[in-house]
């Protein structure tokens, strides 16, 4: 009887327990709410006035989800306090709140239990919980090391122009923003890095930070032991290189004679600008060319790159490079008459292909649906809405200039898209659905006609 009473008393608490997917979503939501509260304080605004709640919430969502879409100019609207809040939100969002919480727990000597390890496994997109705490520690060290090097290089570049203190502040802010693929900048007037279109040091430093952040931490760890490269690392590196090269060539071809973009630049600067504009949709949001002046073919190219995004386990968004490559391997296998999809002399298991196809198709349906809603509610061209929504879903931050002019409904659409893109469609689906149950019955096989 006593045992029954204890179980009855504990059952409400048991029902409140969250799954790893729900914990991740709740954590991001908590950070966003806390950030919005801080950004709505008068001290966070440059003019000392309270920022409207929706504007603060939008900015906090964009920063935590490392996106970079903004409705107010970061450099002119926010005070130094507000900028530091945004910087902290970017770092928390890039690492993931669970990574930071684990680091703090280890610092005070608290033991990391199985439940926390399961959430870390989900957050880092790992197959097992074995070594997940050690991996988390490595993630933090890699992040701090890369951001420190990036901040030093940018500080040395801007020190002569801005002075040491301001140059260092700008260096740290933009290094963190670039590595975490956030896209927030402090140059004002929504111009991003357009004034640095021909600056080799700024372009290559930012591009390196963006690429390293987008590779994923498992790949960064593998880079330290090249003789033990996994299939995942090989696919990520090959896909990243191919997409950057293809993007550079196509931007160069499409915009070469456009007087509003590449047409006004000398030869080598054309190539540099095309390279940077190919890197940044992977998913950083910085730009050295005026996005609103790009031709429609270039916009469609950037939409495709933003939708693919970065790689799993990194700071970028999108459906991820491996999700794009897996169905391509299926297509190639079909054209070659092979039974199994193969990559680098390895066979992909059906579960991986099913997951990739699911993410790609559901992601495409989600983006088209949200773009249709945005185009309808804001009365804008569909390609404008599609670009903005894909940028939000891929947590990129590139904009044709539509986001600052959105009304309340438009901002909510973008915020929902940003949040969904950061936590992941499958994570959202698992969080909102019941726990999956294994089927007790396997039905007879029968074919349908295809094609």
Task: Give, as one character, the DSSP assignment of residue 103.
Answer: H
In this prediction, residue 121 has a pLDDT band, given cuts at 50, 70 and 90, of: low
d(CA 3, CA 1): 5
Task: Find which of 42-46, 354-358, 440-444 is predicted with most confidence, using mean pLDDT.
Answer: 42-46
Residue 12 domain flag: no
45 vs 187: CA distance, rounded Å: 16
Q: Considering the domain boundaries, does residue 441 fall inside one?
A: no
What is the per-residue pLDDT for 366?
95
Residue 111 lies in a domain: yes
When the pLDDT of each residue in the chain is averaged and rounded to a whole number, the result is 85
For the ranges 101-105, 266-270, 426-430, 438-442, the one whose mean pLDDT is highest: 266-270
Q: Does residue 449 form part of some domain?
A: no
pLDDT beyond 90 at 89: yes
Give the chain's domain count: 1
Mean pLDDT throughout 120-137? 66
* Within a domain: 439: no
Q: Quick check: bond before 372 cis, omega within 30?
A: no
Answer yes or no: is 11 within a domain.
no
Question: Which residue range is the domain that position 176 belongs to?
Answer: 18-430
Average pLDDT rounded to a whole number, residues 298-315: 90
pLDDT of residue 316: 78
pLDDT digits (tens, 9 = 90+) for 268-299: 999 999 999 999 997 788 889 999 899 999 99
Which distant-in-sequence residues (6+ apart) come within 8 Å of 54 by Cβ?
408, 411
In a domain, 278, yes or no: yes
Is pLDDT of 258 > 60? yes
Query: What integer pLDDT is reported at residue 9 of this predicted model?
Result: 42
Region 29-55 average pLDDT? 94
d(C-alpha 403, C-alpha 12), whole Å: 43
pLDDT of residue 216: 84
DSSP state of 45: B
**Cα dihedral sign, 121-179-300-422:** positive
Cα(112)–Cα(151) distance, rounded to whole angstroms? 32
Within a domain: 3: no
pLDDT above 50 for 11? no
CA 332 to each of CA 24, 319, 326, 327, 376: distance values in angstroms, whole numbers, following the listed order: 36, 20, 10, 9, 38
């Amino acid at each position: 009887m006593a045992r029954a009473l204890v179980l009855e008393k504990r059952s409400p608490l048991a029902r409140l327990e969250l799954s790893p997917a729900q914990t991740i979503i709740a954590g991001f939501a908590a950070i966003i709410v806390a950030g919005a509260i801080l950004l709505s304080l008068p001290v966070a605004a440059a003019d000392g006035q309270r920022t409207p709640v929706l504007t603060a919430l939008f900015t906090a969502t964009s920063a935590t989800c490392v996106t970079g879409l903004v409705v107010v100019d970061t450099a002119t609207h926010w005070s130094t306090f507000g900028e530091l809040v945004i910087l902290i939100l970017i770092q928390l969002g890039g690492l993931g709140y669970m990574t930071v919480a684990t680091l703090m727990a280890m610092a005070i000597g608290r033991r990391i239990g199985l439940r926390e390890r399961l959430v870390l496994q989900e957050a880092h997109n790992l197959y097992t919980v074995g070594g997940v705490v050690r991996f988390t520690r490595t993630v933090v060290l890699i992040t701090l090391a890369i951001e420190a090097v990036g901040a030093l290089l940018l500080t040395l570049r801007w020190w002569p122009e801005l002075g040491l203190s301001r140059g260092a502040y700008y260096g740290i802010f933009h290094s963190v923003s670039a590595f975490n693929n956030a896209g927030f900048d402090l140059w004002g007037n929504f111009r991003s890095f357009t004034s640095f279109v021909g600056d080799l040091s700024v372009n290559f430093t930012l591009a390196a930070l963006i690429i390293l952040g987008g590779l994923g931490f498992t790949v960064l760890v593998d880079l330290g032991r090249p003789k033990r490269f996994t299939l995942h690392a090989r696919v990520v590196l090959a896909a990243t290189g191919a997409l950057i090269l293809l993007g550079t060539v196509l931007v160069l071809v499409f915009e070469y004679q456009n007087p509003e973009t590449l047409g006004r630049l000398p030869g080598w600067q054309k190539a540099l600008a095309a390279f940077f504009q190919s890197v940044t949709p992977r998913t950083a949001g910085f730009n050295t060319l005026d996005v609103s002046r790009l031709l429609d073919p270039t916009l469609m190219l950037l939409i495709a790159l933003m939708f693919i995004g970065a790689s799993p386990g990194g700071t970028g968004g999108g459906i991820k490079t491996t999700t794009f490559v897996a169905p391509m391997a299926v297509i190639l296998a079909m054209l070659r008459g092979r039974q199994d999809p193969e990559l680098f002399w390895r066979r992909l298991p059906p579960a991986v292909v099913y997951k990739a196809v699911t993410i790609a198709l559901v992601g495409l349906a989600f983006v088209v649906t949200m773009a249709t809603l945005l185009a309808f509610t804001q009365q804008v061209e569909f390609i404008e809405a599609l670009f903005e929504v894909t940028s939000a879903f891929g947590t990129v931050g590139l904009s044709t200039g539509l986001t600052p002019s959105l009304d309340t409904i438009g901002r909510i659409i973008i915020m929902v898209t940003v949040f969904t893109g950061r936590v992941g469609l499958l994570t959202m689906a698992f969080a909102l659905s019941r726990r999956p149950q294994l089927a007790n019955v396997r039905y007879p096989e029968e074919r349908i006609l295809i094609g």
